[in-house]
Every structure is written in C-alpha cells, then in structure tokens.
Amino acid sequence: MTTPRPTGAPQRTLQRPSPSGIAVAVVLLGWLVLSIWSVAALKINLATFADSIGNATDFLARIFPLDFPPLGEILEMTGQTLAIVTCATVLSVVLSFGVALLAARNTTPGTPLRWWARAVIVVTRAIPELVLAILFLRMFGLGGLAGILAMGIHSIGMVGKMYADAIEDTDGGPRDALRSAGATWWQQISGAVVPQAMPAFVATALHRFDINLRASVILGYVGVAGIGMELSLAMRTLDYQRGMALALFVVVLCIAVELLSGALRSALLGRGSDRKPWWRRIGRSTWVTDGPALPAPDVRRPDGSYRISPPWTPKRIRTTVYTTLAVVALCVSVLASGIDFSRMTDGLGTTGTTLALFFPPGTGGIWDELVKELVVTVQIALAATFIGLLIAVPVGILAARNVAPNPGVARFFRITIVVIRGIPDLIIAIVFIVITGLGATAGALALSLGAVGLLSKLIADSLEETDIRVQQAVTASGATRGQTFVASTLRQSAPALVAHLFYQLDVNIRAATLLGVVGAGGIGFYLMNAARVMQFDVVTTIVLMVFVVVMAVEGVAMWMRRAMS
C-alpha cells in the first residue's frame, strides 16, 4: 500500500542527461579504458618493481660516493646554463610579444594576420625544442646559440598564447580614451594595453624560465653546452658517480629557481585564497594602481612652465632599478652563453641547404616500426597520466587551502609539489632506466612522477578558485565536510579538472618523445637515431606524426571544455 502524495507537493523527476554530457562521459570512459590497457601493456605492476629491486641496490652501490666536479667547474657550467636559459627566455618574450599582438582579437581583429599568428603559435608549440636544436646545431655548430634559438622559438607556442590571452583580457576603456585623444595604434598599445597586461607578461616569462632550465638538460644530449652536456657525457661513459652528482646538482638548482620564481610571481600577482586568479585581475594589479589614490603632483615649475616628464616617485625609481638590473643581467648572459658570433653569418648562409635536408619527409624504410613506436609513445603518455592522476588527486586536495584540514597540511603538500616539479623528467628517466632497464616502462614511470607535480598544482589551484559562498551555503544546510566537498567544491571545479587531465596528456605525449633520447622507449629513440645518422627526412616524418597525435588530443580537449562549460 502506497501513501498518496500530498496535494501541492513538488514532483521530483530525474533530469535526463544531455547529449553533450553523454558524449563527455563516453570520452572519459574511453580514456580510462585505454589508460588501463596501456598500464598493462607496459607491464607496470608489482612484479616489475620486485624484479628491479636488485638493480636498484646495485645502482645505489655504484653511485656512492658522489663525485662532484671542482667548485670552479660547477660555477662555470651553472653560469653558462643560466646564461643560455636567460637569453632563450628573453628571445621568446620579444618574439612572443609581436606574435601575441597579431593573435589577439582586440589588437588585430578580423584580419588574416591574426590567423597566421595563431598558426605560428600552434606550430612552434608542436615542434620539440630537441628537433630545433638539431637543426640549429647543424647550422651553427656546438655552443650556446643553438640552444638559445631552439628554446626561444619553441617557447613562442606557450608564451605567445599566454600573452595573447592576457592582451584580450585587458579593459578596452583606457585604449578607447587614448584613441579618442588622437593616439596612434602603437601609443594605444604602449599606453593602455601593455601596462594592464604587464603582470601576466612577467609571470609567464618567469614560469617559462623554469621550463627552459629543465629543457636545457635534455638539449645537452645533442650538443648544447652547459650542465646538460656534462651530464650526458658522464652517463654515456657509465660514470654514475659523476653523472648522479651532476643530476643531484641540477635538481637542487631547478628547485631553487622554482622557489625564487614562485616568490617573485607571488610578490607580483599577490597571494591568498580570497584573491581571484591573475587572468581576472589584469588591470587591477599594483603595477597599475599602486595603493590608494595620491594627490596630483605639482606639475608647475618655479619659472611658471609645466613639467612634461613624470616625477621621480619611489615607484618609478624601483621600476628603473629593476629595469637596469634586467638589462645588465641580459648583457652578462649574452657574453657568458658562449655564442660564437663569427659563425652566425656562415650558418645563416646555409639555411636553405640545411632545410633541404629535412624535406621532403621520408620513412627510411621503417614506416611500420615508426607507427608501432608511435603507439608505444601514446601508451607511455596514457599510462603516465593515469598513474600521475591517481597520486595527484589526494595530493592536490590536501594542498588546497580551502579543503585541507588545516593550513599546515596545505603548506606541507604545497612544498612537496614544488620539490616534485623541480626535478626534471630527464633525471627521473635516467634513474628508472638504470633500475628497470631501457624501454617504455622507465619512460612511463618517469613521466608519471612529473605528472604528479603538475597535476597536483593544477588541481589545488582549481579547488581554491571555486566560489566559497556555495560551499558555505551547503555547509549551512547541515552537510558534512566530505559532503560539502563533493557537492560544492568538486562539482564547481570538475570542468577545470577534466581540462587539466587532457592538458597533462598533451604534455606527456611531447615529453615521451623527448625522453626517447636517453632510451626511455617510444618514437623518440628513433628520432634521435635518425638525427645521429643524418636521416633528417625521417626526423621530419616523426615530427609530423607526433604533431598529428598532439593536435588530435588538443582538439578533443577543446571540445570537452566547450561541452562542459
């Protein structure tokens, strides 16, 4: 016997899922199935780890005591590496600024130039810096110039996109005011757009510096000077005591740079869970509005004329000092990077001949092997993303200040994330290769640890950016802490978390290609071999194959973001 529903009681009906929601669920289920299949195919299991215990023990016995180079050599290598990275980052900033102006909707609206600029961003992001380094080493020989050009041009893919987004997010009011006053296009850009976007510009440049420092280690394996080259020489000669000493120094250097860069970004953009993300605060930074409004300075001189230059306020003095220090650091970096200017003209003269070696693409008679190894590369990326996500979810949750049990727990896991992110993937891959042997298993394990660092940070940031008022409303209704997290915090951040998942997959596909340099499996091994035997047409084919896969993943990610928005 059923109790009749009272008259006027609300009728509860289950909401039918939308077609886009069903499609999103199908894509996520497909990703999960392929990821589990990849983990099984690469034999990442407890038996593999058990079999590797003996190798790990032997490896530890062979690396101690660590053999650090003399202090003078370490300082010289570090100085050259930082100089190359500094020059590459500055080059990327200069090139990306022009590309971003052409790619942004509000600065280059409705013209073919905008689409060409967007294409430049996509292409430079898709071509690995390792391939660009091989090209420039062929043109300019060994030294720092090839690394500077390779990292600088490849960085346009990220820096140009971030700069274009920052320019599009600027307030159009100040620019309209300058336009109405008769300002030229460049005066509008320099007077209204750049000041608003400057915090994002500097933050992106600092973040890219961290990435380029890690990339410089990989480029050392193809002949770019610095710590990476010395590390590659030690590992190739099986000098594990010197190699792991250099690897440990690189880890410490990367973590130190990461902490310093993070401190600078926090000082520039502000910090605190109650602040909006930087892309919603452009135009309201202390770079634009430095504290409360001050009385207008006296612009009249004693002789009755008017001042036409801005007064030397403390803010202007600080800006001038920082700018001067940056220029001095750049000049020192150019001198310390080991650029052979005498070879630049000769190298530029061989541009056409060098490019002709890469086109048309060829297979070298190993097309079937290339396709097979491309599948392995995708398996490495899928397995690494899946394993990294399993570990990153609890770490990211505990690192979020609005979710962690107390501030101390959040601080501890934030520091843990910084330390993990500071370890270059190449160093981790070398360790796993020695322990588990050459092959895709080592590459997947190395990338999974790297994925923990990036995904944990993205997850924590996404959870902190949720609307706290919704969480308070759910808590006020009597929900427990766990119920509030699932019903409010997690639900709000779900679209961002899915976007981060596919972004990490994109990153891992590119990284899996690069780790093949040290024998971590995948198509990168064939890329490196083709470059060593000067089959540059095969190099082009491999780059195009990886490009197609990356663009497919990026297309799915873009569709997922639109479907979940």
Is there a domain that residue 187 lies in? no
Is there a domain that residue 232 lies in? yes
Question: Which range is most confident: 13-22, 190-199, 279-288, 313-322?
Answer: 190-199
Do 262 and 341 sit in the same domain of this protein?
yes
Do 228 and 103 sit in the same domain of this protein?
yes
The pLDDT-based confidence of 289 (bands split at 50, 70, 90) is very low
Q: Cβ distance 189 to 103 under 8 Å?
A: no
The pLDDT-based confidence of 185 (bands split at 50, 70, 90) is confident
Q: Cβ distance 381 to 441 under 8 Å?
A: no
**Among 349, 371, 394, residue at a domain's last position:** 349
Is there a domain that residue 308 lies in? no
Report the CATH number at residue 545: 1.10.3720.10
Do 149 and 246 sit in the same domain of this protein?
yes
The answer to whether residue 336 scores a pLDDT higher than 70 is yes
pLDDT for res 299: 55
Do 322 and 412 sit in the same domain of this protein?
no
The answer to whether residue 17 scores a pLDDT higher than 70 is no
- Tens digit of each residue's pLDDT (9 = 90 or more) over 101-117: 998 888 887 778 888 98
Q: Cβ distance 257 to 207 under 8 Å?
A: no
SS3 of residue 181 by DSSP: coil
Average pLDDT over residues 52-81: 84
Give the number of other Cβ atoms within 10 Å of residue 475's Cβ.
Answer: 15
Sign of the dihedral through C-alpha 187, 192, 195, 196 = negative
Is there a domain that residue 356 lies in? no
Do 43 and 153 sit in the same domain of this protein?
no
Is there a domain that residue 12 lies in? no
Do 44 and 156 sit in the same domain of this protein?
no
The three-state DSSP-derived secondary structure of 385-424 is HHHHHHHHHHHHHHHCCCCCCCHHHHHHHHHHHHHHHCCC
Do 245 and 98 sit in the same domain of this protein?
yes
Do 367 and 327 sit in the same domain of this protein?
no
Q: Cβ distance 80 to 225 under 8 Å?
A: yes
How many Cα atoms within 13 Å fall on the side-chain side of residue 556?
20
Please spell the DSSP secondary structure of 131-176, one letter per residue.
HHHHHHHHHH-SBHHHHHHHHHHHTHHHHHHHHHHHHHTS-HHHHH
The pLDDT-based confidence of 486 (bands split at 50, 70, 90) is low
The answer to whether residue 269 scores a pLDDT higher than 60 is no
Do 430 and 326 sit in the same domain of this protein?
no
Average pLDDT over residues 50-77: 83
pLDDT for res 36: 92
What's the whole-model pTM score?
0.79
Do 253 and 130 sit in the same domain of this protein?
yes
Average pLDDT over residues 237-246: 86
Do 332 and 460 sit in the same domain of this protein?
no
pLDDT for res 529: 86
The pLDDT-based confidence of 220 (bands split at 50, 70, 90) is confident
DSSP 277: P
Question: Which range is most confident: 175-189, 257-271, 308-322?
Answer: 175-189
Average pLDDT over residues 243-255: 87
DSSP 189: I
> Which domain, by its residues, includes 95?
66-173+193-291+316-349
Q: Which two tokens stand for residue 423?
A: 């370890």
Do 517 and 482 sit in the same domain of this protein?
yes
Q: Where are the alpha helices (DSSP H) in 194-340?
A: 194-219, 227-236, 240-269, 314-336
pLDDT for res 298: 54
Is there a domain that residue 419 lies in? yes
265 or 519: which leads in pLDDT: 519
Number of domains within the chain: 2
Give the number of other Cβ atoms within 10 Å of residue 40's Cβ.
Answer: 12
Q: Cβ distance 544 to 361 under 8 Å?
A: yes
The pLDDT-based confidence of 265 (bands split at 50, 70, 90) is low
Find the range with the poorest average confidence among 78-87, 251-260, 298-307, 531-540: 298-307
pLDDT for res 138: 84
Is there a domain that residue 297 lies in? no
SS3 of residue 359 by DSSP: coil
Is there a domain that residue 116 lies in? yes
Find the range with the poorest average confidence among 61-65, 156-160, 466-470, 557-561: 466-470
The answer to whether residue 432 scores a pLDDT higher than 60 is yes
pLDDT for res 387: 92
How many Cα atoms within 13 Å fall on the side-chain side of residue 15?
5
